[in-house]
Amino acid sequence: ATLEGDQSGDDGEVEELAAEDITIGLSISTLNNPFFGDLQRGVVEAAEENGSTVRSVDAQDDTATQINGIDDLIQQGVDILLINPVDSDAITPAIESANSAGIPVITIDRSSEGGDVLTFIASDNVEGGEMAAEFIIDLVGEDADVVQLEGVPGASATNERGEGFMNVANDRLNVVESQSANFNRSEGLTVMENIIQSYSDIEAVFAQNDEMALGALEALEAAGMTDVIVVGFDGNDDALAEIEAGRLDATIAQQPYEMGTIAVDTVYDYFSGGTIDEEIGAPLELISAE
Amino acid sequence: METKNAAVTRKKERRSELYRKLGPLIALIVLMLIVTVLNVNFIRPANLLNLLRQVSVNALIAFGMTFVIITGGIDLSVGSTLALSSALTAGIIAIGVPPVLAIVSGLLIGAFLGMINGLLITKGNVAPFIGTLATMTIYRGLTLVYTEGNPITGFGGGFAFQFFGRGYLFGIPFPVIITTAAFIILFVILHKMTFGRKTFAIGGNEQAAYIAGIKSDRVKTMVYAISGMMSALAGLILTSRLNSAQPTAGTAYELDAIAAVVIGGTSLAGGKGRIVGTLIGALIIGTLNNGLNLLGVSSFYQQVVRGVVIIIAVLLDRKK
Amino acid sequence: METKNAAVTRKKERRSELYRKLGPLIALIVLMLIVTVLNVNFIRPANLLNLLRQVSVNALIAFGMTFVIITGGIDLSVGSTLALSSALTAGIIAIGVPPVLAIVSGLLIGAFLGMINGLLITKGNVAPFIGTLATMTIYRGLTLVYTEGNPITGFGGGFAFQFFGRGYLFGIPFPVIITTAAFIILFVILHKMTFGRKTFAIGGNEQAAYIAGIKSDRVKTMVYAISGMMSALAGLILTSRLNSAQPTAGTAYELDAIAAVVIGGTSLAGGKGRIVGTLIGALIIGTLNNGLNLLGVSSFYQQVVRGVVIIIAVLLDRKK
Amino acid sequence: MHVEMKGITKSFGENKVLRGVDFSLHSGEVHALMGENGAGKSTLMNILTGLHKKDSGKVLINDEERLYANPKEAEENGVSFIHQEMITWPDMTVLENMFMGKEIKNKLGWVQTKEMEKKAKSVFGELGIDISFDRTMKTLSVGQQQLVEIAKTLLNDAEVIIMDEPTAALTDREIRTLFKIIRQLQKKDVSLVYISHRMEEIFEISDRVTVMRDGVSISTKDTKDTSYDEIVRHMVGRDLEDYYPEMDNAQGEAVLEVRNLTHLPDYEDISFTLHSGEILGFSGLMGAGRTEIMRGIFGIDKIDSGDIYLDGEKIDISTPNDAVKRGIGFLTEDRKSEGLILDFSVRDNISMTAFEEFSKGGWINDKEEEEFVDLLIKRLTVKTAHMELPVGALSGGNQQKVVLAKWIGAGSRVLILDEPTRGVDVGAKREIYNLMKELAERGVGIIMVSSDLPEVIGVSNRVLVVHEGTISGELKREDLSEERIMTLATGGE
Ligand SMILES: Nc1ncnc2c1ncn2[C@@H]1O[C@H](COP(=O)(O)OP(=O)(O)OP(=O)(O)O)[C@@H](O)[C@H]1O
Ligand SMILES: Nc1ncnc2c1ncn2[C@@H]1O[C@H](COP(=O)(O)OP(=O)(O)OP(=O)(O)O)[C@@H](O)[C@H]1O
Ligand SMILES: O[C@@H]1[C@H](O)[C@H](O)CO[C@H]1O
Ligand SMILES: [Mg+2]
Ligand SMILES: [Mg+2]
């Protein structure tokens, strides 16, 4: 009787590989969100440019589907795995199986709690949350009534952005309501509509991603509350357009495409014997109308 | 003696029939009272209009679902139909087709997708549950393929299209007006026209209906087309409201729609049902969602409460 | 002529019966051949074991679902039952209960949740579709309440619990061994024991079953308990494999399970079915998922293909 | 076993179905139970076998008060009930059906198929039945299914067997077999309750007759001491005049012509002409293919070849809708699954075929519909409290009238009636015959498929006999006799 991940893989020297000979396995948490579409595009385009092969699987936001997909990638003998976990805990066993198959792993956007990971590429979500809170305070002042729309419960992005936001807001803002709209635009709309019914004096909304922010925007506009400040997170195309149009106030822009290309660059570094940092930060940027 | 007996039966029957009809309505009123007592904001006209607007999407889908369920079928593909027809309509608007024309095309696309369900079920002889389960996956897949997983936005459509989901007429949100119109039309079709009679007959006993000369394949196909069209209509409202066609829009909407239909007293076995009940069912679900939010109940508990209310509503209906 | 007629009918019937039984198997073999031709990695033993391990979760749920569907019912709550029983088991392990005991408790919790479905349906007289739709929401809500929406991790459980989902015995993944054992036991119960006969009898003609002295309420309640227990078993495997109990685990799993059952030739109308078919159905779906990944088909197209394959499989079965 | 039921009462809700029934059964006798549809015969037997609970009264088994908790307990104590609506599992095998709920199992709880087969084989042998055990029930003819049901009762060493209209779906040959079996059982001292609406059978097989009316037992007599007229009088509460109406209806032009209709292997080369005002009987043995022919004509099943003419004009019927549109109506042999929507009201059932009569452009005029339905209910004297009552709540005969009303309302000029009086009591039967005659007199052409020979002879103007899927002969009214028909039906000249 043995356990999956028991047999440790070859721990020896890294076998150097030319870009054309590398097959990259990519496991994405869900492609139903443009954010991850960009991330995937970053990986695929950077890899193709250098002649590498990419095989990707989509977990559709389900942890079990994700480990199955990673197993399938391992079966195809990919040289390295880029994993964007659905859940930071539940990904551990999959990373351990990759470890035991001797396949190096890089996680992107969300971390892994266990297993050996080459590096972790992500924006600093805590810092992003803090940036949003500071921005809001700049515009509406301290102690204003604000609302937070949270992402998928349990996702590291939700927890970390919430943590960052509350770090600042706890003492300096009055958060009247904080509810989940699952990173989803139509839920953002309905949840916001309902909140408006109880709190007509809110001055700002922080949505943990742009999709929810855009939904909230429609709700506020329908209620004639156009002067409420709305801040999103991600910097996706729709959000940027709305900022341009003066409807959305700001977004904490991540750069998913860059995360993808950084990951691929790291892969090449690794296979040419370079040393890799334990964590690689992806740039975050607050984009607003000014 | 026999006639006296009959009169008594008749009276009793009428009374139980009345209960059956009023049951869901009473449930709705009680629910609204409770929410109002707990948070008076609920009963403010602005919130009620807001509630109605929120309900319109589920109500429209549930209206179509009512026809399907009365024939003894089920349509699991409504959510995916909504997404696919919305995405295609957004695409159509984006290439510059006038919005009214695009809306009509969107409705026809929905009807077409529904018709495919109907043909699978009638000509292919596939059980409705499994046939629409398959198309649910297929239509969703096609939506994702078409949109490449990204929302379609900034497709324009001008005032007409924006008005569709976001406009007001005499202070009433336009989606509410659309829903009311759809309700009236479908009510008439179901309860006042021969098409409705045929729909009931098929659900009551398909073989007998067929032998009585009812073209059951054709009626069923049309019923699924109606369901598809209503999903598309709901999708257009959503798209207009969000100013964006979402590839994941409508996921799991079939469950809310089926719940509305069943709470409204339509039997899943087919042959029995009322579209008024469905409207009330949709209002109950909407009041619950809106009310629980107003009361600040956590979304986790909301799910528990929602399930419990579905059971209570159905049990009340059983007891007549 | 009468006897000749009968003989012809008879022969036809046997042949169609054979097709019915072999249909899904042939579909599976053809599918495996196609995938192998396109990517020979598929047929490697390591991948086949990997495939079997992937299939085990859906197969276990689908086994239980087979019983339910044979009675003419349906269980939409399996995914939520999986999540709730997993979360509670993780909680039990976390407070230090020995893993084997915890596993047993987990299975009993699943059976209990299933029993609630059964009682709702038999005593409450609620249609299975709507009753389990309600508990699906309720159990999911309770899971979220219990876990506060966060995955439960680091609960320990030691080697025994880890082995459950991640172990190997004689080179075979332990989940595959569990699934095989469950299959054999359930096969015997369904096809060799009176309980199985009763299950079929209820689905075939409930009134007749009552007259034959079958306690249909009790049998049905037990059948839903079996379904709940199988969901819990699947959940434990998943929890062990993921080393974490996820509050959203099992979402939409009912659909894959129902698809496996129906592809395997069990009729949604009840009274007819085979658990071997369900196993094959689950393997078809698993092969499809694994194969499409191996072939590098985009996840969007995968959905389309999966829906189309369900339809083809069901149509093939129809045509006998 | 000796059974005594005394003063049994039973109500379903407001409906007092039994109002003090006395009934007794001696060991080894065949006791016929007669009464109009809805008189309460099945209900009484359901009380004896524990399916329904009585409200008051006494049941004595071998002079001891005894109530069975459920049908299974009754069966275990030697009281078996072959129900009117056969209780089977169509998709399960003969063996599974026979042993349902009483499988033989070993210590581990495994079902012992071999032993069950052995036991079944011996019972089949006793009855002279030859049906293989692994066939599914639905592939058997109704007669064969009935035989399996009977064999089932022998598995439990039944001492009392209740047969509720066992011959309703059998033709004469099978009835002969059944009677042989009954006599064998009688020799083994088994008592039988025999419920039937067929008077001839009662006189042939029973020792005593009990007649029920409106939930009360009217009389119990030795069969040899009573008469046809007396039984009928007790059943309907008055004298009935002639059972069959005088068939003096005049016949006109050909309305329906069928030429070389073929659908192998069910029937081949069927040709005949139906005239307006004619009642054309179709006789034949079970499985001869009469129902299949009618389904072919009506467009329910596909045909291989052949032509159909209406008023001399060739028409194409590929669905029932094509037939209905052209004024053809079809009362099917299976009223419950094909003729009616049982939960729907009398009104909805009647109006189903005739929407055009009270709708314009798809809009229904409720008032007109009500008048339309009311007229039909009155014309056919359907006994119903009101038109909103679910059809399932009516007696069998009245249900049959609702189906007829539906086709008359559709303005049918050609009516195909398949076993129109199956399971219908004498009183209602007579009314149906009168209706048929009345329709014929108004120029409707009627095809009547019937397995009831006296009925075929009593109401047909002309009879076609079907044998193994072909028409083996035609008999004019004056040539009709049971012998002639049976000779043709069995392939003789
Ligand atoms: N389960 C029930 N619930 C309500 N009413 C019932 C039920 N069973 C029978 N009845 C009613 O009881 C009456 C007697 O029915 P029963 O079946 O005993 O008549 P029957 O004499 O067997 O008639 P038939 O000759 O048509 O078989 C009918 O009016 C019937 O509608
Ligand atoms: N031995 C059999 N095996 C399978 N099906 C049978 C058998 N006998 C009869 N049937 C079914 O019942 C039908 C009986 O034939 P059909 O009803 O056309 O004859 P019929 O002369 O009208 O007899 P009936 O008096 O029973 O109506 C067959 O066509 C078939 O559908
Ligand atoms: O960082 C990403 C994005 O913000 C997305 O919108 C939701 O998932 C998070 O992990
Ligand atoms: Mg009866
Ligand atoms: Mg027949």
What is the percent of chain D where pLDDT is above 70? Answer: 98
Q: Are A267 and A22 in contact (CB under 8 A)?
A: yes
D473-491 residue pLDDT tens: 999 998 998 889 988 988 7
Residues A30-44: what's their mean pLDDT?
90
D309: phi then psi, degrees, rounded to nearest 5: -120, 135
Chain C interface includes B288 (CB < 8 A): no
Q: B12: pLDDT confidence band, cut at 50, 70 and 90? A: low
Lining ligand 3 with CB less than 6 A are A 33, 35, 109-110, 151, 155, 157, 183, 209, 233-234
What residues in A contact B42, CB-CB < 8 Å? 197
Residues whose beta carbon lies within 6 Å of some atom of ligand 2: C 6, 9; D 139-142, 171, 266, 284, 286-292, 333, 449, 451
The tokens for A214 are: 């855009």
**ipTM of the complex, rounded to two decimals:** 0.86
* A84, A60 Cβ separation under 8 angstroms: no
- Chains linked to B by 3 or more Cβ pairs within 8 Å: A, C, D
Whole-number average pLDDT of chain D: 90
With b for 16 or more beta-carbon neighbours within 10 A and e for fewer, the A171-207 pattern comes to: eebebbbbbbbbbbbbbbbbbbbbbbbbeeebbbbbb
Q: Which ligand is nearest to the CA of D169?
A: 2
Report the range out of A2-11, C113-122, D194-203 with the highest average pLDDT.
C113-122
Residue whose CB lies within 8 A of the most ligand 3 atoms, among A111, A187, A233, A237, for a mutation test: A233
Mean pLDDT within C291-305 = 91
The predicted pLDDT at position A13 comes to 67
**Angle CA(D293)–CA(D298)–CA(D300) in degrees, nearest 5?**
85
Confidence (pTM):
0.88
How many residue pairs from chains A and C have C-beta atoms closer than 8 A?
109
CB–CB contact C212 D91 (8 Å): no
- D333 Cα nearest atom in ligand 2: 27
Q: Residue D397: which pLDDT band, with cuts at 50, 70 and 90?
A: confident
pLDDT value of position A195: 86
CB A58 within 8 A of CB A276: no
Alpha-carbon distance of C160 to C143, in angstroms, equals: 24
**Torsions phi, psi for A150 (to 5 deg):** -95, 160
Contact B227, B80 (CB under 8 A): no
Residue in the structure block whose two tokens are 């795995």: A81
pLDDT band at B1 (very low <50, low <70, confident <90, very high): very low
- The CATH number that domain D253-490 falls under is 3.40.50.300
Specify the 3-state DSSP secondary structure of D283. strand
pLDDT band at C2 (very low <50, low <70, confident <90, very high): very low
The answer to whether D149 and D82 are in contact (CB under 8 A) is yes
User: Model confidence over D326-372: pLDDT tens digits?
Assistant: 999 999 988 888 999 999 999 999 999 999 889 998 999 999 999 99
Across-strand partners of D105? D111
pLDDT score recorded for residue C150:
78
Structure tokens at A27: 């496991």
Residue having the nearest C-alpha atom to atom 4 of ligand 2: D139
**Nearest-CA distance D69 → chain C (Å):** 10
What's the pLDDT score for residue C319? 53
pLDDT beyond 80 at A1: no
* Whole-angstrom distance, CA of residue D71 vs CA of residue D52: 9
**pLDDT, tens digit, for every residue of A189-243?**
988 988 887 788 999 999 999 999 999 999 998 888 989 999 999 998 889 999 9
The CA distance from B306 to C80, in Å, is 15
Does residue C5 surpass a pLDDT of 60? no
Q: What is the rounded distance in angstroms from the CA atom of residue B272 to the CA atom of residue B262?
A: 11
Residues in chain A: 290
Q: How far is B221 from chain C (nearest CA, A)?
A: 17
Query: What per-residue confidence (pLDDT) applies to D427?
Result: 82
pLDDT digits (tens, 9 = 90+) for C19-44: 667 778 888 999 999 999 999 989 99
Q: Choose from B83-87, B152-156, B289-293 the range with maximum mean pLDDT.
A: B83-87
Tell me the CA distances in angstroms from A189 to B164, B237, D420, one per residue in order: 16, 13, 63
CATH 3.40.50.300 residue window(s) in chain D: 3-238, 253-490
Contact D464, D281 (CB under 8 A): yes
Query: What percentage of residues in chain C have a pLDDT greater than 90?
Result: 72
pLDDT surpassing 60 at residue D157: yes
| Residue whose entry in the numeric block shows the structure tokens 């009398």 | D346
Most confident of A19-33, A152-166, B217-231: B217-231
| DSSP letter assigned to residue C150 | S
How far lies C127's CA from each of B285, C121, C123, D220, in Å?
A: 19, 6, 11, 47
Tokens 């060493």 label which residue? D157
A133-172 residues touching B, CB cutoff 8 A: none
- Span C250-260, pLDDT tens digits: 998 999 999 99
pLDDT at C4: 47
Find out whether B259 and B312 touch, Cβ atoms under 8 Å: no
Which comes out higher in pLDDT, residue D412 or D168? D412
Other CB atoms within 10 A of residue A88 CB = 22
CB D366 within 8 A of CB D343: no
Q: Each residue of D381-396: pLDDT tens digit?
A: 888 888 999 998 888 8
Residue B19 pLDDT class (50, 70, 90 cuts): low
Unique residue bearing structure tokens 């039967």: D429
Contact yes or no for B302 and C141 at CB 8 A: yes
In tens, the pLDDT along D208-249 reads 999 998 889 999 999 999 998 888 888 877 665 667 888 788
pLDDT at C35: 93
Q: What is the Cα–Cα distance from A79 to D384, expressed in whole angstroms?
A: 81
Chain A residues closer than 8 Å to B293 by CB? 179, 191, 194-195, 197
Show me where the domains of chain B are located.
46-319
Residue B319 has pLDDT above 60, yes or no: no
Which stretches of chain D sit within 8 Å of chain C by CB?
Answer: 51, 70-73, 75, 83, 87-92, 96, 100-103, 105, 109-111, 135-136, 139, 265, 287, 468-469
Report the first-to-last Cα separation within chain D, whole angstroms. Answer: 48
Q: Chains touching chain C at 3 or more Cβ pairs under 8 angstroms?
A: A, B, D
pLDDT of residue C18: 67
Backbone angles phi, psi at B149, to 5 degrees: 80, 0
Can you give the pLDDT at residue C237? 96
User: From the alpha carbon of D144, which atom of ligand 2 is closest?
Assistant: 1
CB contacts of D111 in chain C (<8 Å) are: 192-194, 197
Which CATH architecture group holds D3-238?
A: 3-Layer(aba) Sandwich (3.40)
DSSP D337: I
pLDDT(A170) > 80:
yes
* Residue whose pair of structure tokens reads 């015959």 in the numeric block: D433
C175 contacts C56 by C-beta, under 8 angstroms: yes
Task: Write down the pLDDT at residue B8.
Answer: 52
Question: Which ligand is in closest contact with the Cα of D217?
Answer: 1
Confidence of residue D174 (pLDDT cuts 50, 70, 90): confident
Q: Which pLDDT value is given to residue A11?
A: 53
Q: Do chains A and D touch (3 or more CB pairs under 8 A)?
A: no
Residues of chain B in contact with residue C129, where contact means CB-CB under 8 angstroms, are: 74, 258, 268
Architecture of the B46-319 domain: Orthogonal Bundle (1.10)
Q: Which of D302, D241, D309 is nearest to D445 (CA)?
A: D309
Rounded distance from Cα C141 to ligand 3 centre (Å): 23
- Is D37 touching ligand 1 by the criterion CB < 6 Å? yes
Report how far residue C206's alpha carbon sits from residue C212's, in angstroms, rounded to the nearest whole number.
10
Contact residues, chain A, for C255 at CB < 8 Å: none
Which of the residues B242, B253, B287 would you substitute to probe the A interface, choosing the one with the greatest number of A C-beta atoms within 10 Å? B242
B41, B48, B50, best to mutate vs chain A, most A CBs in 10 Å: B50
Answer whether A63 sits within 8 Å of C149, measured CB to CB. Answer: no
Q: For residue B12, what is the enclosing H or E element?
A: helix B2-38
- Residues in chain B within 8 Å Cβ distance of A197: 41-42, 44, 46-47, 50, 290, 293-294
Looking up tokens 């109530």 gives D67
- Residue D153: pLDDT band with limits 50, 70, 90: confident
Residues 6+ apart with CB under 8 A from D45: D33, D81, D162, D164, D193, D195
Please provide the average confidence, as pLDDT, over all residues in chain C. 90
